[in-house]
Structure 1
């Protein structure tokens, strides 16, 4: 099976790329030539910029692929370009959407693929919904072979996942915990969340590659482990070897002080996220998530400790956390 990954060097896609190669898939990775250390041995690299259609068309040439996966499509314009590029050139096009596209606030605690898509808080999610609608409209009118995958918060060894942490310098939260600084938990910390290790996600995803029954369908792929945010932060602390000082602050207050967090909280993590994975297990019968969060985050902390050059601290994020806490304490 010949598969093209557009992007393919991110936290989720790196794990999928490795498993795909391990399973004998002929993998091509199309990107701008950055982060090549994350391309697995055995994959072929095509250098180009997918956002420049003429350049991408030239770089891809006349090569056809059994499957095309775009890991970096975020807008309706992105997927309409891909339709033009790959219609007639692939048997399956997989769009990476987001579980944050599901209804916010949710009307039922258990999320299935039929949960409505509606997110008034986050433009990122609304753009993903628009992408899905454009692709499905093309599927219905001309048979464009789309499959939609909606990851939730998926992490790997290069990430310390939390509702509030620095995305670019994820070691920041461990550093803050080890220095005894207070750690903000939104709400009372009892809402539920699902953390998924990228190696678990990869098992479900690779099973969809080249699966003709998946055409026209949407899937989420997550762990079945459900944790409260208090449990999540305490697991990070345990992995870091400390008991974190948790301070609980209402999401409304956090976003009033830091409006940039509206999408992240109200549009995603402030709502409980419990996923029914029946559908992916029906299409990929051997899929099972086997990495509990306590183990996965411990592996992440150990990886950072083995790579001290990556143990960077985001001073701007730290200042933001201190500012929120000071504003809350001075009410």
Structure 2
């Protein structure tokens, strides 16, 4: 197959691209920074959010398109028809965050937040879970049925190691610099499901080009659920073996949300128990072969630590200052690049109320 992968550089995409190439498919990947060929993978340099660039590459027909891009609902309305017309099979990456809370294991037909939530303030937003559900509806209502909706939940890889609502930039960066991590204690008791990006990619590759998967939604997760406290313990033990201490300062949810951005991800996802019924995807892949989270998380953490050249996105220095204020710790100013960011850190560390007014 000739396959186009849009935005395939994350925890799932890098593995899917490699799997498809290893299987002998002709794989093309859009990238803002890379061009040319690497082995059997072709890179097309450009911004896939740019409609003119996208329309150019969609002027030819693709056997499969895998779409990892994050769109606003209006952006997706503007391009979904062209995407569907340009391929025999379109894989759209949604999220299992679309599901409402459930006391029983989630199936693909479980109620979604968009359809059941009564929080009108939340529904007025284009928050991630709502955006994905609205874009799913565009596909559900489309006259084209050559699509498959993929709903992964929390995926992990060497470069993506989450703890509750915290990305590695929020917790691992602080840990490696000897500072405490701040997290809502109620999150730690919630059950979650964490799946290796390699395993999600394996299932996606099994779905791509399969006619019986078209017009359907599939969540792709491991069969194993785990509570966030267990995840924290796995990280803690793995780090301790390297002589590194992970210390978590627990807050109640109200106090945590008083300073933390992204409150809806906490309220409408991380505080829920997320357990999945994988009967549907088992028709295409054996999920019992997926790596256990305890083993996979430890392996990825050790791989990350072994590099010694730790890769982190730039921390949010406003939030870092607030965390330091809570934990009564300090960040060395030499860690912070740029005088403006240093000033922002110092303001939020010492005078958070004033800093919020000045940065509005």
SS of 1:90's partner is coil
Counterpart position of 2:173: 172
Q: Please state how far the C-alpha of 1:257 moved relative to its aligned partner.
A: 3.3
- Over 3 Å counting, the alpha-carbon distance change for 1:56 and 1:100 in structure 2 is same
In 2, are the aligned partners of 1:109 and 1:273 still within 8 Å (CA)?
Answer: no
1-side partners of 2:194 and 2:183: how far apart? 18
Higher RCO (Cα < 8 Å, 6 or more apart): 1
Runs of 4+ off more than 6 Å: none
In 2, are the aligned partners of 1:188 and 1:249 still within 8 Å (CA)?
Answer: no
Range 44-53 or range 19-28, more displaced: 44-53
- Over 3 Å counting, the alpha-carbon distance change for 1:80 and 1:41 in structure 2 is farther
In 2, are the aligned partners of 1:73 and 1:79 still within 8 Å (CA)?
Answer: no
- Over 3 Å counting, the alpha-carbon distance change for 1:31 and 1:188 in structure 2 is closer
* CA-to-aligned-CA distance 1:209-261 (integer Å, 9 cap, x gap): 00111111001101111111111101111111166444433323311332x13
Counterpart position of 1:3: 3
Q: 1:253 aligns with which of 234, 252, 255?
A: 255
- Over 3 Å counting, the alpha-carbon distance change for 1:173 and 1:201 in structure 2 is farther
Tell me the C-alpha RMSD between the 2 structures: 2.6
Counterpart position of 1:94: 91
1-side partners of 2:245 and 2:171: how far apart? 18
In 2, are the aligned partners of 1:239 and 1:297 still within 8 Å (CA)?
Answer: no
Counterpart position of 2:322: 320
SS of 2:85's partner is coil
Q: TM-score, normalised by structure 2?
A: 0.78
SS of 1:295's partner is helix
In 2, are the aligned partners of 1:73 and 1:95 still within 8 Å (CA)?
Answer: no
1-side partners of 2:267 and 2:229: how far apart? 18
Counterpart position of 1:57: 55
Counterpart position of 2:64: 67
1-side partners of 2:30 and 2:187: how far apart? 44
1-side partners of 2:18 and 2:175: how far apart? 28
In 2, are the aligned partners of 1:171 and 1:304 still within 8 Å (CA)?
Answer: no
* CA-to-aligned-CA distance 1:148-171 (integer Å, 9 cap, x gap): 011111010112211143455763
Which structure 2 residues correspond to residues 149-298 of structure 1 after superposition, within 5 A?
149-166=150-167, 168=169, 171-175=172-176, 179=178, 181=180, 183-187=182-186, 189-241=188-240, 244-258=246-260, 260-282=261-283, 284-298=284-298
Structure 1 unaligned spans of 5+:
327-331
Structure 2 unaligned spans of 5+:
329-360
2-side partners of 1:188 and 1:42: how far apart? 43
SS of 1:248's partner is strand
* CA-to-aligned-CA distance 1:271-300 (integer Å, 9 cap, x gap): 111111111002x14344432222222222
Q: Please state how far the C-alpha of 1:180 moved relative to its aligned partner.
A: 6.6
In 2, are the aligned partners of 1:92 and 1:215 still within 8 Å (CA)?
Answer: yes
Counterpart position of 1:329: none
Q: TM-score, normalised by structure 1?
A: 0.85
- Over 3 Å counting, the alpha-carbon distance change for 1:323 and 1:222 in structure 2 is farther
In 1, are the aligned partners of 2:160 and 2:167 still within 8 Å (CA)?
Answer: no
Aligned length: 314
Q: Please state how far the C-alpha of 1:314 moved relative to its aligned partner.
A: 3.6
